[in-house]
Amino acid sequence: MLVIMKKAATEENLEQIKQFLVERDFDFHQSTGADRKIIGVVGQTYSLNCQYLKQLPGVLDVYRIPPEDE
C-alpha cells in the first residue's frame, strides 16, 4: 500500500499516519522527494481501511497494491 502525502502536509500530519500504522503493527518506509512524501506500508494491508486513511489530514491519496498471482 502506498500513502501519498499532500505537498502542504505537515510533520504532524506525517507523524499521525506513522502512529496509526505502528499502533496496528505495520512496518513502513518513507520516501521523501522534492515535492512529496510517500509512505510504503509493508504487510497484509487488506485489513487497513483506505477510505479512513484518505480522510486523515495531509493525505492526498492511498493506493492498494494487489497481491501477485501465484
* CATH number assigned to the domain comprising residue 9: 3.30.70.1140
pLDDT of residue 35: 87
Residue-wise pLDDT for 7-65, tens only, equals 999 999 999 999 999 999 999 999 999 889 999 999 888 889 999 999 999 999 999 98
**SS3 at position 18:** helix
pLDDT above 70 (res 69): no
Output the pLDDT for position 47.
87
Does residue 31 lie within any of the structural domains? yes
Domain contains 70: no
Query: Would you say residue 68 has pLDDT above 90?
Result: no
Whether 47 is covered by a domain: the verdict is yes
CB atoms under 10 Å from CB of 21, counted, come to 21
Residue 35 is part of which domain span? 2-63
What per-residue confidence (pLDDT) applies to 43? 84
